[in-house]
Structure 1
Amino acid sequence: MSENPLNIVLADDDDDDRMLFSEAIDEIAIQTNLKLFNHGQELMDYLNTAGSNLPNLIFLDLNMPIKNGLQCLKEIRSNTALKDLCVAIYSTSSSEVDIEETFLNGANIYVNKPNNYSKLREAVEKVLQLNWQYHTSNLNKDTFLFRI
C-alpha cells in the first residue's frame, strides 16, 4: 500500500514551536512531507514560486514578524492559484476577534496551540485525519474552532 504523503507546511516564527510540531508530525502514523518556514513572507515566497509543490494543508501562526498569518491568509485567498489550499490557523491566541477575523477571511479551521506535547500531537493528528472535502463544504463557526 503506497499512499502519497500529505504535503504539510508550518509557518511559525517560534523555534521551539516549529521543533515540537515537527516531532509531533514524525510520531503520527500518517505519511507526511513537512516544510517549515520562519515567517509569513518565507511561506508566501515559496507558495508563489513556479513549480513549487503546493501543500495539502498549511498550518499558519497568526503572530509573526515581516508578514503575519492574517496577511498570508488574505494573500492566499486572493490568489487564484492558491485560493483552494486548506489553511489551519495555528495560534496561541484564543481572542474572539482573531477567531472571527480568520473565519471571515477564509481559514478552514482554527487550532489553539496546545500547552503540552501530547495534546499537540493529538491535535495535529486529528486535524490531519479530517476529511477536508467534507469539512470545508460544511464549514460553520461550530466546526471552525478546533478544541482538544
Structure 2
Amino acid sequence: MITDENPDAESPKEKEPVKILLAEDDKDDQELFIDALEAADVPSEVTALENGQELVDTLRDKSQPDPDIIFIDVNMPVKGGKQALEEIKGDKELRDIPAVMLSTWDHPADIEDTFDKGADLYVQKPNSFNGFVLVLKKVFFLHWAKALLGPVKNLFFVYEKNISQGDS
C-alpha cells in the first residue's frame, strides 16, 4: 500500500512565515537581524530596504503583498525612520501594519515621538547577538499579545536589560 504521508515532511501549514520588511541602512545590522530571527526560531521572509523612502515606496506598490510587520531604523539617509513612520501611519491603507522602531538610542523624546506617530514598539538595538535574539523573541511575543490586548504604553519600549531578567 502506497501513501502520500511522510511523517518527516513538514506540513505547509505548520508554520506560516512572517512577512517582514526591514528598513535598515547598515548591512551588518541587516545580517544580524536576519540571523537573530533564525536563532529565535521565528519563521520569516525578510525583505531588507536601505532607507525610509524605499520602505514607503515598497508599501505603496500594489504588486507587493502587505507585510505582517515592519521594522524601521530611526536614523537612515534619504528618509529617516520617523518621517517614514509618519507617512505610513498617515496612509489609511497602510496604517494598520504593525511598525517596530529600531535605534541604538534610548532618548525619551525619541521614544515618545515615535509612540505619538503611531509606532507599535520601540526597540533599542542590543549590543550582542544573544541580546538581539532575546529582543526579537520578546517583540514577536508582544506583537501577538498586543493584537489581543490593544496598545499598552508600558510595553512600548523594549531593550535588552528589561527582558533578560527572569526570561531565561
Q: TM-score, normalising length from structure 1?
A: 0.93
1:133 matched to 2:153? The reply is: no
Picking from 64, 75, 87, the partner of 1:63 is 75
Alignment root-mean-square deviation, CA: 1.3
Partner of 1:85: 97
Local SS of the residue matching 1:41: helix
Q: Does 1:74 align with 2:86?
A: yes
Match of 2:55 among 20, 24, 43: 43
Aligned residues: 146
DSSP 3-state at the match of 2:93: coil
> C-alpha offsets along residues 50-105 of structure 1, whole Å, 9 cap, x if unaligned?
13121111111000000000011100111111010100101111111100100111
Higher relative contact order (CA 8 A, sep 6+): 1
Question: Deviation of residue 139 (structure 1)?
Answer: 2.2
Q: Does 1:23 align with 2:31?
A: no
Q: Which residue of 1 aligns with 2:112?
A: 100
Separation of aligned partners in 1, 2:63 and 2:121 = 27
**Residue 114, structure 1, aligned to residue 126, structure 2:** yes
Amino acid at match of 1:36: A
Q: C-alpha separation between the residues in 1 aligned to 2:114 and 2:39? A: 29
What is the aligned partner in structure 2 of residue 13 from structure 1? 25
Q: Percent identity?
A: 34
SS of 1:54 mapped into structure 2: coil
- Runs of at least 4 residues of structure 1 off by over 2 A? none
Q: What amino acid is the match of 1:133?
A: A
Listed as ranges, the gaps of 5+ residues in structure 1 are none
TM-score normalised by structure 2 residue count: 0.82
**Rounded Cα–Cα distance in structure 1 between residues aligned with 2:83 and 2:151:** 25
CA distance in 1 between partners of 2:46 and 2:24 (Å):
13
Distance 2:151 2:111 in 1: 17
**Which consecutive unaligned segments of at least 5 residues does structure 2 have?**
1-10, 161-168
